[in-house]
């Protein structure tokens, strides 16, 4: 994020303005990705008129960066009508798509409409791997063709590489492909639960050793020693910090008008079909609750050695059962990065041991993080994690 954009984001936070928002225009999709968190049936999407009205309300509320995503956005026959309306309201528009339906004509129209960037999901540089994940033969070829069309129009393209067990070996290949095509590259090693709470897709998550290897790839993380260094102890600033922008300067609206703090945070705060966007943003009790969360209030996390550097996602924590609790996926990333287990992982391990032994043999209290001290030096062995 540029310095100015960061500054504007901070100003938006002070002013209580929803600076960025994502609308999923549909959950329908022409790919059937094995890791997808969505139900692809149409349960009554917002109409064109409803979306246009929402766009007007969002512009008036101050939304500047607007992401259209799905599902596959190009499956909506009114997609360009919606996009034209959004551009006439001077949003900065970002798109997320698999790009399978983008040809020369669509690319030219996106250029004419001044879209800021197009993010395209690419799982592998190898068709057999990518197409097996999307379950659509020929999908990699079509997505790559689309990237060429978009680049020929001078558009900014970002290749998003979600990693899972099936493609964990291919991130260097995808990054090279992005360079060849003149696209930017971003990777995400986290598979998230289904929106309905089904956690079975989590089995696709890359394991701890694969993550550990990834976090030592300097092409991705910069200086690996610095990236994987033990975290500094949480200080007053990190204890008072906000977890992320969800509900503070960012929000999400589903194809059915449900208003969530973030696409990854399915806590319904209202529905834009029944209430004005700004009224939900300002008055929702759920959003007020989300906004009240600080690291210092979180059980476990506030005492965890990773407190100052953890990427804890409050949405994943919510899906795990408690928005004020830990997000185990992020604990696992912190562990893979530093070799230091989080308070949450240690507690889970202990619970498993107790279940196995059938009795609580030892009373262990979570020890508050001691300045500059790794948890492993508090007598809690890292090896115990793997036992």
Partner 1 sequence: MNRKLYVARSPRIAARMLGEEMLVMSGQGSTLFTLNPTATILWQSADGATPLDEIVDRRICPEFEVQPEEAQRDAEALAQDLAKHGILLISEQPISTQSIAKPVASVQQQAQEKVRP
Nearest approach, Cβ of 39 to partner 1 (angstroms)? 32
Q: What is the Cα–Cα distance from 171 to 213, expressed in whole angstroms?
A: 12
* Cβ closest to partner 1, residue 58 vs residue 331: 58
Q: Which of 40, 48, 53, 92 binds partner 1 (CB under 8 A)?
A: 92
* Cβ closest to partner 1, residue 116 vs residue 208: 116
Q: How far is CA 116 from CA 23, 60, 142, 155, 260, in A?
A: 16, 20, 22, 8, 24
8-state DSSP, 311: -
- The answer to whether 363 contacts partner 1 (rule: CB under 8 A) is no
Q: What is the Cα–Cα distance from 86 to 53, expressed in whole angstroms?
A: 10
Q: What is the Cα–Cα distance from 51 to 63, expressed in whole angstroms?
A: 14
> Which residues, other chains included, contact 83 with Cβ-Cβ below 8 Å and sequence gap of 6+?
68, 93, 110, 113, 115
Q: How many residues bind partner 1 (CB under 8 A)?
A: 27
Coil, strand or helix at 380: coil
> Which residues, other chains included, contact 363 with Cβ-Cβ below 8 Å and sequence gap of 6+?
none
Scan residues 268-287 and list those touching partner 1 (CB under 8 A): 278
Q: Which of 39, 42, 50, 60 binds partner 1 (CB under 8 A)?
A: 60
DSSP sequence for 204-266: GS--HHHHHHHTT-HHHHSSHHHHTSPPPPP-HHHHHS-S-SBTTTEEEE-TT-BEESBTTB-
Nearest approach, Cβ of 91 to partner 1 (angstroms)? 6
Nearest approach, Cβ of 11 to partner 1 (angstroms)? 6
Other CB atoms within 10 Å distance of the CB of residue 344: 28
- The answer to whether 49 contacts partner 1 (rule: CB under 8 A) is no
Q: Which of 50, 114, 199, 232 binds partner 1 (CB under 8 A)?
A: 114
Q: Which of 87, 216, 294, 353 binds partner 1 (CB under 8 A)?
A: 87
Coil, strand or helix at 316: helix
Nearest approach, Cβ of 89 to partner 1 (angstroms)? 6
CB-CB contact of 272 with 259 (8 Å): yes
Q: What is the Cα–Cα distance from 359 to 361, expressed in whole angstroms?
A: 6
Q: Which stretch binds partner 1 (CB under 8 A): 5-13, 97-105, 182-190, 357-365?
A: 5-13
Q: Which of 30, 40, 62, 208 binds partner 1 (CB under 8 A)?
A: 62
Scan residues 126-165 and list those touching partner 1 (CB under 8 A): 156
Q: Which of 78, 116, 217, 289 binds partner 1 (CB under 8 A)?
A: 116
Nearest approach, Cβ of 112 to partner 1 (angstroms)? 9
Q: What is the Cα–Cα distance from 286 to 367, expressed in whole angstroms?
A: 32
Nearest approach, Cβ of 114 to partner 1 (angstroms)? 4
* Cβ closest to partner 1, residue 75 vs residue 158: 158
* Cβ closest to partner 1, residue 38 vs residue 155: 155
- The answer to whether 108 contacts partner 1 (rule: CB under 8 A) is no
8-state DSSP, 32: -
**Residue ranges in contact with partner 1 by CB under 8 A:** 2, 4-5, 8, 11-12, 15, 17, 19, 59-64, 87-93, 114, 116-117, 156, 278
């Amino acid at each position: 994020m540029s310095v100015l954009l960061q500054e504007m984001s901070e100003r938006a936070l002070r002013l209580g303005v929803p600076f960025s928002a994502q609308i999923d225009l549909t959950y329908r999709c022409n790919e059937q990705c094995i890791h997808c968190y969505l139900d692809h049936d149409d349960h009554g999407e917002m109409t064109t008129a409803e979306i246009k009205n929402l766009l007007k309300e969002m512009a008036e509320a101050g939304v500047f960066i607007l992401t259209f995503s799905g599902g596959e956005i190009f499956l909506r026959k009114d997609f360009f009508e919606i996009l034209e309306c959004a551009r006439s309201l001077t949003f900065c528009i970002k798109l997320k798509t698999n790009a399978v339906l983008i040809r020369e004509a669509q690319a030219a129209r996106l250029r004419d409409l001044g879209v800021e960037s197009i993010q395209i999901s690419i799982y592998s540089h190898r068709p057999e791997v990518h197409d097996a994940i999307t379950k659509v033969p020929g999908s990699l070829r079509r997505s790559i063709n689309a990237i060429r069309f978009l680049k020929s129009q001078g558009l900014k393209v970002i290749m998003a590489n979600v990693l899972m067990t099936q493609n964990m070996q291919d991130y260097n290949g995808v990054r090279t492909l992005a360079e060849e095509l003149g696209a930017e590259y971003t990777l995400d090693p986290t598979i998230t639960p289904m929106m309905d709470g089904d956690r079975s897709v989590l089995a696709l998550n890359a394991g701890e050793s694969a993550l550990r290897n990834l976090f030592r790839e300097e092409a991705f993380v910069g200086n690996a020693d610095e990236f994987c260094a033990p975290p500094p102890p949480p200080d007053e600033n990190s204890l008072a910090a906000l977890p992320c922008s969800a509900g503070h300067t960012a929000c999400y609206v589903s194809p059915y008008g449900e208003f969530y703090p973030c696409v990854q945070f399915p806590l319904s705060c209202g529905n834009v079909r029944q209430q004005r966007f700004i009224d939900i943003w300002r008055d929702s009790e759920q959003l007020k609750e989300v906004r009240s969360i600080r690291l210092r209030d979180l059980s476990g996390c506030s005492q965890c050695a990773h407190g100052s550097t953890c990427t804890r996602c409050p949405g994943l924590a919510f899906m795990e059962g408690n928005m004020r609790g830990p997000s185990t996926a992020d604990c696992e990333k912190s562990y893979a990065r530093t070799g230091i287990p989080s308070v949450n992982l240690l507690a889970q391990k202990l619970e498993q041991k107790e279940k196995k032994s059938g009795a609580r043999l030892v009373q262990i209290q979570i020890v508050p993080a001691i300045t500059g001290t790794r948890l492993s030096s508090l007598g809690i062995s890292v090896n115990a994690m793997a036992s």
